[in-house]
Amino acid sequence: MDIRIQPGRLSGSVTPPPSKSMAHRVVLAQMLSEHPGKTENLSASQDILATQGCVAALKAAAAGELPHLDCGESGSTLRFLIPIALAVAGGGVFTGRGRLMERPQKPYFDIFEEKGISYSLENGVLTVEGRLTPGVCRLPGNVSSQFVTGLLYALPLLDGDSEIVITSPLESRGYVDMTLDTLSQFGVTVENQAYERFRVPGGQRYQGRDAAIEADWSQAGFWYAAGFLGSSVDIQGLNPASAQGDRVAAELYRQLTRPGDTDIDVSGCPDLLPPLAVMAAVRRGTTRFVNAARLRIKESDRLATVRALLTALGGQAEEGPDSLTVRGTERLSGGTVDGANDHRIVMAAAIAATACTGPVTILGAEAVRKSYPTFWEEYNRLGGVTHVL
C-alpha cells in the first residue's frame, strides 16, 4: 500500500499504543507461570501476534516433538524464545520473514557450542535441539540486549544456578531493566551486578499475576516529533516512571529544542533514532547520532534508510559506519520515500510530511502493522490528509 500525504499540521490528543517491548515480556512470563493471570491492553500488532502464536505452538507441542515457531518479523520473539524453547521443550524449529533470519544469532551459537546444543540455520530455518544446562553463559553487550533477556527468562527454570557474564559494555540497558522489572513482578529473582554479571538462581517458578501493558514510549517518540515540527499534539497515557528505556524521548526532545550543534548517543535507545532524526532535520544546528552501528541490523539498515528518507524530502544527512549526521534546514520540500518494509521509517516519513512544503508519497505504508496497526487511523483523526494510491 502506497500513501500520499498533503502537508499540514496535526492537532488533538493521542495515546500511544501499548508497549510492544513490555507486552512481549509479560506474555512470556504468563506462559511460564503455572497459574497465569489476565493481561490487559495488549496490542494486536504483528510482533505481539507472533509471540502469542509461538506461545500457543509451545503449549501444543507433544512430548519429544520440536515445536515449529513462526516468529514473523519480530527479533524479540525469536531471540527471547530460543533459550526458552530449549528450557521447556528441548528446542524448536524457528522461521521468520523479511530480514529476521539474517539478523545475528552468533552470541547464542557460541553458547550452544560450549554446552553441546545442536543448531543449524539453513534456507531461513533455524533448528536448535538439546538441553540448556545451568552454569556460566558469556554474551557480548554490544550486539543486542535481546540475548540477555532470552537467557534471563530461561535460566531460572533450570535445576541449578547460572550466571550471565557480559564481555563488553552492555548497550540498551533500559531494555534489560524492563526485563528485570517484569521478572520481579512474576516472582523471579535475579542479582544484577553492575550490568556486568547477572546471577540467576535455578529452580524458580514464575508466579502468574494480572498485568496491564503501559503505553509505548518508543511510539510516543513520533508524536513528540510531530510537536517539534509544529503540530499541536497532546500525548496522553504515558508513565513517566516507566521501566521503558525509551522514556528518554522526552529528555531528548528538550535537548533538540536548544539550538546549536549536539551529539546524541543512541546506544541505549536505538528505536528512537527515526523520530529524533526528523526533529534534527529542521532544527538550528547539526545533530550527530553516535554509537548507532546496531541500527544497521534492524528491519532495515536504519542508518541508510533514515538518511535516504531525509534526503528524499530535501533534508541533509550523512551516514558513517556507526553514526548519522543531520544538518538542520529551514524547511523540507516533500518527495517520495521508500518505506523499506520498516514500520519506523514509514512513521518517521509520515511525521516529516507535516512540515513539508509539498506532498509526500510513502511506498509500503502498510509496514506500520508490525508495531502500530492503528497509526494511520490516528494520523487521520488528528487532521492528517492521506490518500491511498
Which of the following is catalytic: 47, 246, 271, 342? 271
Round to whole Å and give the CA distance between 297 and 188.
31
| Rounded Cα gap, residues 249 and 238, in angstroms | 11
**Interatomic CA distance for residues 240 and 236, integer angstroms:** 11
What is the C-alpha separation between 32 and 206, in angstroms, rounded? Answer: 6
Residue 212 backbone dihedrals phi, psi, to 5 degrees: -125, 135
Which among 272, 342, 338, 339 is positioned nearest to 46, based on CA atoms? 342
Please give the C-alpha separations between residue 315 and each of 57, 173, 236, 311, 353, in angstroms, as whole numbers: 46, 32, 30, 5, 12
Cell numbers placing 176: 534489560
Question: What angle, 0 to 180 degrees and rounded to 10, lies between the N-to-C axes of helices 20-31 and 46-60?
Answer: 10
Q: Is there a catalytic annotation at residue 271? A: yes
Please compute, for residue 105, the number of CA atoms within 13 A of its CA located in the half-sphere on the CB side.
26
d(Cα 22, Cα 244) in Å, to the nearest integer?
A: 8
Contact 294, 266 (CB under 8 A): no
Nearest-Å Rg of the Cα atoms of the chain is 21
Alpha helices in the chain (DSSP H): 20-31, 46-60, 75-89, 106-115, 146-154, 173-185, 217-228, 249-257, 273-281, 302-312, 343-353, 375-381
Dump strand ranges (E) for 117-166.
118-122, 125-129, 136-139, 162-166
Query: Cell for 300?
Result: 532495515
The three three-digit cell numbers of residue 306, written as one number: 533514515
- Is 299 within 8 Å of 370 (Cβ atoms)? yes
Q: Are 164 and 155 in contact (CB under 8 A)?
A: yes
Active site residues: 271
